[in-house]
Amino acid sequence: MSEQSRRPRRPGKPYRRPQKDPVRILAFEALRAVDERDAYANLVLPPLLRKAREKEGPDRFDGRDAALATELVYGTLRRQGTYDAVIAACVDRPLREVDPPVLDVLSLGAHQLLGTRIPSHAAVSASVELARVVLGDGRAKFVNAVLRKVAQDDLDGWLERVAPPYEDDPEDHLAVVHSHPRWVVSALWDSLGGGRAGIERLLESDNERPEVTLVARPGRATAGELLDALGDEAATPGRWSPYAVRLSEGGEPGAIDAVRENRAGVQDEGSQLVALALAAAPLEGPDKTWLDGCAGPGGKAALLAGLAAERGAVLLASEKQPHRAGLVAKALDGNPGPYQVIAADGTRPPWRPGTFDRVLMDVPCTGLGALRRRPEARWRRRPEDLDGFAPLQRALLRTALDAVRVGGVVGYATCSPHLAETRAVVDDVLKQYGPAADLIDARPLLEGVPDLGEGPDVQLWPHLHGTDAMYLALIRRVA
């Protein structure tokens, strides 16, 4: 009980206990964990949901409650930039002086008011009740006052008031309207090119929940089998990958036999296209030994191993972190052909140079191409992170080019479209190899995929392809 609630009350105003709403309390706890412990929302949520189900029982916490809690957490985190600007306009001090737990309750409330169909009065009163439970009655009054101001306008109205005009500062405008840090808007726009319409569509896509895509692992399952098992209502075929199946809203991968049996997995179609393009690159001479040099947790390695098996080739899947190498081994378990998994630092490779016919280097990166999946990532990343990754990305691409035989092909991939992690790395390293390595046009190898730009490398985009913003450069060793 807070100090406030112990004070004598005016007669006629009996104390009412705050109502405990398990959905809002759970959402608040998740936001605190993300804020305080740098936790990842997608890792924090499942145990909290399980705990709430066990504590409340299925009648008081059902599937719809879980869906609402998830939406509140993801939506609040994604839209944090916009909500911060709105809340800042409603409090009389800088936001950094507002206690983080109070700000979390305010952001959750702002999301309910501006980003959901929850009626305003319900959004305010649910937030005030939450504040009474987790912050105390005194701070609940502050929450009430701020959210009543927020409720005075809708999202469009607020954006007109708090975002600088596009004409004055396009990047700042887009940063506030679409809730991305300004430097991220700037980097995405540099890579995407074009005018306002394209970048707006991309930023909007980053704020949408991505659909879940499955991969049927070659030799272990087929897309047709998954589609039959799921039925027309629950799934549709992938757009381009013959192994992809797209789950409809609310589809639960864990309920699918083939996924439980490891014959299929969850994998973005962009990641599938990267593996498929590398496997499809034309090759003269032997095609027997493949390497995945950054394999953890094993999504692309599992697809590559299946494709390799179909052609009698063997995949070596290598990953620096032993526990992630363990995940790779799990993903590959049951592969129809031979493979090997090792834990090795790709900058000090244990294999002999010129050993492999095909090599994938899917390097560590900022992940700016997967913002749809990681709602908190955009706020955590800093421009300085690029400097941290730059030497490693170059070293790993050099390892790949040394590992492949003359005539063999290397795929350099990132799940970031940032030019410093994509073209700049490829250009720098290719300069060092001079005439010994050549870029291949990757576009024809992504069969049927439109809008792949001028090549020879390819950049996929959420708003154009419905995939993560994966980048792929294919390079042939020619001497």
Burial of 122 (0-12, 13-18, 19+ CB in 10 A): exposed
Tokens 């399980």 map to which residue?
50
Ranges of H-type helices in 38-165: 41-56, 63-78, 80-88, 100-115, 120-134, 137-150, 155-162
Whether the Cβ atoms of residue 34 and residue 101 lie closer than 8 Å to each other? no
Within 8 A by CB and 6+ apart from 316, the residues are: 289, 290, 291, 292, 339, 340, 342, 351, 356
**Closest separation in Å from C-beta 369 to ligand SAM:** 10
Name the strand (E) or helix (H) holding 453. Answer: none
> Is 345 assigned to a binding site?
yes
Secondary structure of residue 238 in the 3-state scheme:
coil
> Is 295 assigned to a binding site?
yes
**DSSP letter, residue 138:** H
Q: Which residues bind ligand SAM (CB under 6 A)?
A: 271, 294-300, 319-321, 324, 345-347, 362, 364
Nearer to ligand SAM, 33 or 295 (CB): 295
**Closest separation in Å from C-beta 233 to ligand SAM:** 29
Count the helix, strand and coil residues of the chain and give each as a percent rounded to the nearest 5.
50, 15, 35
**Closest separation in Å from C-beta 297 to ligand SAM:** 5
Catalytic residue among 140, 401, 415, 458: 415
Q: In what order do the strands lie in the sheet with 244-247?
A: 235-237, 244-247, 213-216, 264-266
Nearer to ligand SAM, 33 or 397 (CB): 397
Compute how many other C-beta atoms are within 10 angstroms of the C-beta atom of residue 312: 10
415 has catalytic annotation: yes
**Closest separation in Å from C-beta 335 to ligand SAM:** 15
Q: Which residues line the annotated binding site? A: 294-300, 319, 345, 362
Q: Which residues line the annotated binding site for S-adenosyl-L-methionine? A: 294-300, 319, 345, 362
- Return the active site residues: 415
